[in-house]
Amino acid sequence: MSTKFTDFNFATELQDGLGAMGFQQPTPIQQQAIPIILQERDLIACAQTGTGKTAAFLLPVMHKIISSHSETLNTLIIVPTRELAIQIDEAIQGFGYFTPVSAIAIYGGSDGMAFEQEKKALTQGANIIIATPGRLIAHLNMGYVNFSSIKHLILDEADRMLDMGFSDALNKIISHLPNERQTLFFSATMPPKIRELAKRILKNPEQINIAVSKPAAGVTQGAYVVYNEQKLPLLKTVLREKNFKSMIVFASTKDKVKQLERELKHARFNIAAIHSDLEQEQRNEALRNFKNRSLQIVVATDVLSRGIDIDSIGMVINYDVPRDAEDYVHRVGRTARAEQTGVAITFINPEDQRNFGRIEELIESTIEKLPIPAELGAAPAYEPHKKFFKPAGGKKHHGKPRHSKPFKKKQ
């Protein structure tokens, strides 16, 4: 006896939208969260990336907007990034195609026209506002925002928002909201600071926790143990060999992303970079092209690692090991969304071996170490429990080489 969407008795127009989107069976987080939200309870829900959290909060809230014939501002959704705001707005357009529900994404970074439009939507009442904290505060500071009709506050990617330092901004926004409201927290992880925040702003919340800190089952994971100098030639080889229609390369810093962009463009790959120094329009364009498959490879910092849903990315490459083990799961979660299959590959340099060991502990499995191509020379041994000492002068490499060929430094 499995739950179907029709069991929730959603408004017909909403059910039609679901059908048009090809949604048939609710995912586990949707099965658990939707009834609680329909019952007006506060909720704190934790489920890993790609499990369908967006529809879990949008559908019941949209149902309530439709059945109450609300014509005013009803729901505020706060998200950490512009991309996620746009994506949720698009999901509302999809589910709400046959409904009168109106929404606007408020994310800043754009021109004065956009600001005026946002102001209009804020004052004349779109039903749902999806906003990044900074931009919303800019509007709040102008004094014309009236949140008195808000019934639902939703925080999506709550953990990410705290990581990004939005804590004060969130407090400020919440101070503008009516006390009588339903508050919903969605997060991929539930670190203690999220629990503290939840305790302060949720009222007697229900809790759902279906986070398993493991990448989705369809992901094939592998890793290359390498020296730093081997990373770039290896990246080119792997991209050329795998040649998936869509591939994402994550690097640890903006500067590295820019450097990889130059190198890969020079080597004639079909690539674009996404990082926070770009104009919003450039970021949107790259994402659009990536989604419609005219762009094959995106190189990005963490901006893209959470929340953003792009169908069937064939491969994710971690050019650097993510510092935070949870981030590994998020990045790898970019592939194999909703039960497809994907490949996730990580490059591990000697400095990162310990961190990678921690990731393997978190996900409770040992990730296969792949042999690097012979022409790249010998690779370091994988010894995650050994303390790393930076080799003096960078000439000698510690550890036993796994290949008999001497390691040649590539320029």
53 is a contact residue toward ligand ADP (CB under 6 A): yes
Which residues make Cβ contacts (< 8 Å) with residue 394, sequence separation at least 6? none
Instruction: Output 53 or 82, the one with its CB closest to Mg ion.
Output: 53
C-alpha span between 69 and 188 (Å, rounded): 32
CB under 5 to 8 A by kind: which of ligand ADP, Mg ion, none does 27 bind? Answer: ligand ADP
Compute the least distance from the CB of residue 38 to ligand ADP, in Å. Answer: 16
108 is a contact residue toward Mg ion (CB under 5 A): no
Instruction: Output 130 or 315, the one with its CB closest to Mg ion.
Output: 130
Q: Do residues 230 and 352 make contact, with C-beta atoms less than 8 angstroms apart? A: no
CB under 5 to 8 A by kind: which of Mg ion, ligand ADP, none does 327 bind? Answer: none
CB under 5 to 8 A by kind: which of Mg ion, ligand ADP, none does 23 bind? Answer: ligand ADP
Compute the least distance from the CB of residue 167 to ligand ADP, in Å. Answer: 22
C-alpha span between 146 and 254 (Å, rounded): 38
List 31, 36, 48, 53, residue binding Mg ion (CB under 5 A): 53
Q: Do residues 211 and 190 make contact, with C-beta atoms less than 8 angstroms apart? A: yes
Instruction: Output 47 or 140, the one with its CB closest to Mg ion.
Output: 47
The piece of 22-30, 31-39, 61-69, 275-283 that touches ligand ADP (CB under 6 A) is: 22-30
Site string for ligand ADP, 365-394 (x = CB under 6 A): ------------------------------
23 is a contact residue toward ligand ADP (CB under 6 A): yes
55 is a contact residue toward ligand ADP (CB under 6 A): yes
60 is a contact residue toward ligand ADP (CB under 6 A): no
C-alpha span between 384 and 382 (Å, rounded): 6
The piece of 16-24, 53-61, 297-305, 318-326 that touches Mg ion (CB under 5 A) is: 53-61
Which residues make Cβ contacts (< 8 Å) with residue 271, sequence separation at least 6? 261, 264, 265, 295, 296, 297, 298, 299
63 is a contact residue toward ligand ADP (CB under 6 A): no
C-alpha span between 27 and 155 (Å, rounded): 20
334 is a contact residue toward ligand ADP (CB under 6 A): no
Q: Do residues 106 and 147 make contact, with C-beta atoms less than 8 angstroms apart? A: no
Judged by CB under 6 A, the number of residues near ligand ADP is 16
The piece of 51-59, 168-176, 226-234, 396-404 that touches ligand ADP (CB under 6 A) is: 51-59
Which residues make Cβ contacts (< 8 Å) with residue 211, sequence separation at least 6? 46, 47, 48, 188, 189, 190
Which residues make Cβ contacts (< 8 Å) with residue 162, sequence separation at least 6? 191, 193, 194, 197
List 15, 31, 32, 49, residue binding ligand ADP (CB under 6 A): 49
User: What are the distances in angstroms from CA 3 to CA 42, 80, 293?
Assistant: 22, 31, 34
64 is a contact residue toward ligand ADP (CB under 6 A): no
Site string for ligand ADP, 267-306 (x = CB under 6 A): ----------------------------------------
C-alpha span between 349 and 165 (Å, rounded): 29
307 is a contact residue toward Mg ion (CB under 5 A): yes
**Which residues in 92-160 belong to E strands, given as ranges?**
103-106, 128-131, 152-155
**R_g of the chain, CA atoms, integer Å:** 23
Q: Do residues 124 and 109 make contact, with C-beta atoms less than 8 angstroms apart? A: no
End-to-end CA distance of the chain: 62
List of residues contacting Mg ion (CB under 5 A):
53, 307
List of residues contacting ligand ADP (CB under 6 A):
23, 25-27, 30, 47, 49-55, 309, 337-338
